Structure 1
Amino acid sequence: MNSARRTSASSSLRALLLTVGVLTSGCASAPPREQAAEAVPAPAAPTALEAREADAFFQDHRFRDGTVLPEVRIHYATLGTPRRDASGAVTNAVLLLHWTSASGQVLRGKPFMDSLFAPGRPLDATKYFLIFPDNVGHGRSSKPSDGARTKFPAYGYRDMVELQHRLVTQTLGIARLHAIVGLSMGGMNAWQWSELYPDAVKGVMPIVALPTRIAGRNLLWRRFVSRQIRTDPEWKAGFYTTTPRGWRDAFPVFRMMLDGVPHLQATLPDAAAADAFIATAMTQAEGMDANDVLYSLESSSDYDPEPALGAIQARVFALNFSDDEFNPVSLRTLETLMPRVKHGRFVVQEGDARSFGHLTQAHPELWADQVAAFLAFLEGA
């Protein structure tokens, strides 16, 4: 291998470690139980950019599959200070929603802090009150790996959104959000918010999330990963003692689909680089719970905002990337569906060898200017 190819393979491995680390960041076990917040928590000094973390507990919560949990824990963090109008209503709250198999913690990492939340950046935490929940099934919120395993409710995206809404309205006492910025699964949740709670949010920014049911290649890879887990004898109907081989074998495909074709072409020039990509992905899979992944992938089955797009009242600014293989631009989905949204706008940002396909979402320095454009769009309302 010549020096240029060795450099390329090394860069590929570094990129894999970064992006897979970002993908799984924040999937920690639950901390000891804390008292749920009853109102907006007192913020830290506005310039400190230090998150305040807490847990909200909802008693006897009924999921849409009919299961009732005696208690559901939703972990969350906040940055910034809530501002109120003359009536006492919070006016500057922004909900930040993470992607599948991650948590709110990943959105508080240095790339997001530097690009979005630092003073002078689009979502400056000295100006906005930022809310970062861990969705049910993720992070430090209630999830299968807490002990229930496959006896955990078969939650869907609508269950996620209902619990987000309870957190915002009941725990934090916020009747109307200024905005929601959601990434991938979080973007799909943002679409659902705009339909389920039309008076509860001024504007939403779904990033790498299309306003239609999951189908085609996006559905196929999800079913492939689910099948690899469910049919593996080591899975033992969810009561495994070691990471099922089917999940370890499936994760490289999961990981490949997240990346962009130009980026993979540039960073995997030969068999050695490809083998390193696969080996690293399989190692990373060991750190992820197979049941948590299974539930999170299958939870998308109730997602389909397309029929109600015409009823959305919020301003919508959708952002996708041309090299996103989950949401192929060749389908022209945004071009077809966005005209149904009364106050809608979309951007398909061009991908290149510097971008990461679907995982460009994890590199906000590449799209922070689009967040600024979204906020300007809201100010024009």
Structure 2
Amino acid sequence: MIAFLRCRFWACVFPLALAFTIFCVTGHTEAASITRSADVASLASLKVYHSIPNFRLGGSYNLDDESSYEFGGQGGTTLESLGQQPLQIGYIAVGKPKKNDRGEIVNAVVINCHYSGGSTSMYNFWYDGQPGNDFSQGAVVGPGKLIDTNEYFVVFVDALGLWGTAKPSAGLGLKFPQYSNFDLVQASYRVLKDELNVAEVQLATGVSMGGTQTYTWGVLHPDYVKAIMPIGGTTQSDGEDPVQAWLFQLMTAAMKSDPVWRETKGDYYDLPKAKHPNRGVAFGWSILGHTGFTFDFRASQPWDQLKQEVFYWDPKGEESAAQMKKAEAFDAIDLIYRNNAGSVFNINKELHRITARTLVIHVKTDLWLNYQLAEAAVAKIDGARLLGFSSPIAHYAVFQAPNLLNNDIKAFMEGKTWVAAAAESAGTPVKAEKTKGAFSK
């Protein structure tokens, strides 16, 4: 198991050991050669980009008036007002679209990306025939798979702020508007509505931060999204979740402790990438990695392996090797903005707005996002169900969840009753009837 994770985890979960490369993708050239245009560089050519003119970042969302945030929150700042090109979001679309009489797509599934990833990462983990399938214990998306591309039009979508999307490191740095988690989802909504002509989403899902966005889809667009399946996400990452708030504040503080950051006060883009606050970024990632797995699993790993993930200010040999590779790929301000968006995120009082059929999946041994908080969230969503499971790889098991819980998820997508789903998971033959059972509203 350890050998498997050593060769697969850093190669698949964070495919950042690839050579630092800047890609020019159709319709998109980055303003500065600081971070890659895709988290999985070899898949960058699959991405398509959509520009969203006059999208307002960092504004307020009046959830009682959906029309008020069609192009971002009220009072937000557009990139055009700062002399930049319009907001741009990348995506990868696969599958067979089905259209209504008006030519609009009605069988869409949207897959939101995780904290450090993007569309290429989720494609690598879940789309059939990719190297990341091994870590996910099989493909999730593809012909005949759980999310069947013969039945669904599937959109893997980036979240603004990293990789080839609009992001601070593409030119503005600390002058970039501080976006919110609502902005992440609303920008993705514009991609589906304007670029792809999607009339309704049959399922929104995603892992980790992608699960957080999934909850948000249900709150922002209750009539547009028919079902949501957040996997390892959260409905709060502010002080109502003190463990997560503490963890990500430590990560942010680590990045700001870098001597380069302190000397430049975060204005370092006139320096070459090698002289950016890279040690602070490595320090921040090391803080996160400490609790990424269960402690029992960590205790079973040899120090020669672990020291590659442990931060040293002056590393020797393989010390900090894995984290310095991440530092080469990420930018400190990009990550701090993402952390800031989480620090004010809380939709607990808005969960009653979710009308989509809801299946929440969460890892019981997750040390980042507490399982009890998932239980509390489910209790606030009418008709929602919760599936929990344990894994020694803790939060990272979210990528494997669709295959570990295949029968239950398939039943949810088909609208079967919860009793039938549970019986099938236990190997008990049941009559597969589609019904307005416990999953439906």
Q: Identify whether the pair has TM-score above 0.5, normalized to the shorter chain.
A: yes
Paired residues for 1:300-379 under 5 Å: 300-329=342-371, 332-352=372-392, 356-363=393-400, 366-367=403-404, 369=406, 370-377=408-415
User: Residue 230 of structure 1: CA displacement?
Assistant: 2.3
The alignment partner of 2:55 has SS state of strand
CA distance in 2, matches of 1:131, 1:23: 23
> CA 1:373–1:277 in structure 2 vs 1: closer, same or farther (change >3 Å)?
farther
- The whole-number CA distance in structure 2 between the counterparts of 1:29 and 1:377 is 44
Contact 1:94 1:129 in 2 (8 A): yes
Structure 2 residue 137 is matched with structure 1 residue 95:
no
Query: What residue identity is the alignment partner of 1:281?
Result: A
Maintained 8 Å contact 1:111/1:364: no
Which of 141, 153, 156 in structure 1 is aligned with 2:177? 153
Equivalent residue, structure 2, for 1:43: none
Distance 1:79 1:56 in 2: 16
Measured at CA, do residues 375 and 22 of structure 1 come closer, stay the same or move farther in structure 2, by a change above 3 Å?
Answer: farther
- For residues 256-295 of structure 1, the aligned pairs below 5 Å read 256-266=290-300, 268-269=301-302, 271-278=303-310, 279-287=320-328, 288-295=330-337
Which shows bigger deviation, 199-208 or 13-22?
Answer: 13-22
* 1:32 to 1:108, Cα distance in 2 relative to 1, 3 A: closer
RMSD: 2.8
Residue 243 of structure 1 and its aligned partner are, at CA, apart by 3.5
> Deviation of residue 249 (structure 1)?
1.9
1:128 to 152, 161, 176: 152
CA offsets per residue over residues 195-222 of structure 1, 9 Å max, x none?
1111010001111013334421111111
CA drift of 1:306 comes to: 0.7
- Bigger RCO of structures 1 and 2 (CA < 8 A, at least 6 apart): 1
After alignment, is 272-281 or 288-297 more displaced? Answer: 272-281
Report the Cα distance in structure 2 between the residues aligned to 1:14 and 1:162, rounded to whole angstroms. 37
From the superposition, tell whether residues 198 and 29 of structure 1 become closer, same or farther in structure 2 (CA, over 3 Å).
farther
Q: TM-score normalised to the size of structure 2?
A: 0.73
Contact 1:25 1:102 in 2 (8 A): no
Map of 2:315 onto structure 1:
none
Q: How far apart are the structure 2 equivalents of 1:20 and 1:62?
A: 32
Given that 1:194 and 1:201 are in contact with CA atoms closer than 8 Å, whether structure 2 keeps it comes out as: yes
State the 1:53 CA deviation. 3.2
Query: 2:142 maps to what in 1?
Result: 118
What CA deviation, in whole Å up to 9, does each residue of 1:256-310 have, x standing for no partner?
Answer: 23223343233x24x3333233223322222222221111121113321210222
Matches within 5 A, 1:195-210: 195-210=219-234
The runs of 5 or more residues in structure 2 that have no matched partner are 29-44, 60-75, 81-85, 129-137, 311-319, 417-433
**CA contact 2:289–2:309 (8 Å) conserved in 1:** no
Amino acid aligned to 2:373: T
Aligned to 1:239: 267
Matched with 1:62 is 56
8 Å CA contact 1:115, 1:368 repeated in 2: no
For 2:309, give the aligned amino acid. Answer: F
Distance in 1 (CA, whole Å) between partners of 2:215 and 2:106 is 21
Could you tell me which residue of structure 1 aligns to residue 88 of structure 2?
73
Are the counterparts in 1 of residues 16 and 326 from structure 2 also a CA contact under 8 Å?
A: no
- 1:25-67 Cα shifts (integer Å, max 9, x gaps): 99975635529xxxxxxxxxxxxxxx95321111222212532
| 1:219 corresponds to 2:245 | yes
Letter in 2 for 1:198: P
Aligned-partner Cα distance in 2 for 1:84–1:181: 21
Pair 23,372 (structure 1): closer, same or farther in 2 beyond 3 Å:
farther
Distance 1:122 1:366, change over 3 A: closer
Query: Structure 1 residue 112: deviation in Å?
Result: 4.0
In 2, Cα distance between the equivalents of 1:155 and 1:107?
22
Which has the larger displacement, 20-29 or 97-106?
A: 20-29
| Secondary structure in structure 2 of the residue aligned to 1:115 | coil
Letter in 2 for 1:105: T
Deviations 1:232-257 (A, max 9, x none): 33122333332412222222111223
Q: Kindly tell me: are residues 106 and 364 of structure 1, through their superposed partners in 2, closer, same or farther at Cα, counting changes over 3 Å?
A: farther
Using structure 1 for the length normalisation, give the TM-score.
Answer: 0.84
Structure with greater proportional helix content:
1
Distance in 2, matches of 1:181 and 1:99, equals 11
The separation in 2 between residues aligned to 1:26 and 1:254, in whole angstroms, is: 23
Identify the residue that residue 313 of structure 2 maps to in structure 1.
none
Quickly say closer, same or farther: Cα 1:140–1:197, change in 2 above 3 A.
Answer: same
| Structure 2 counterpart SS, 1:67 | coil
SS of residue paired to 1:141: coil
Q: Give the letter aligned to residue 305 of structure 2.
A: A
How many residue pairs get aligned? The number is 353
Contact kept in structure 1, 2:362 and 2:398, CA below 8 Å: no
| Structure 1 CA distance for aligned equivalents of residues 214 and 123 of structure 2 | 19
Question: C-alpha separation between the residues in 1 aligned to 2:181 and 2:18?
Answer: 20
Identity value in percent: 21
CA shift in 2, pair 1:334/1:111, >3 Å: closer
Q: Which whole-Å deviations, capped at 9, do the CAs of 1:63-101 have from their partners, x for residues lacking one?
A: 125322121111111001210234544221000001112
Counterpart AA for 2:242: G
Q: What amino acid is aligned across from residue 228 of structure 1 in structure 2? A: A
Task: Call closer, same or farther: CA 1:133–1:361 in 2, change over 3 Å.
Answer: same
How far is the alpha carbon of 1:154 from its aligned partner? 0.8
For the Cα contact (< 8 Å) 1:26–1:103, is it kept in 2?
no
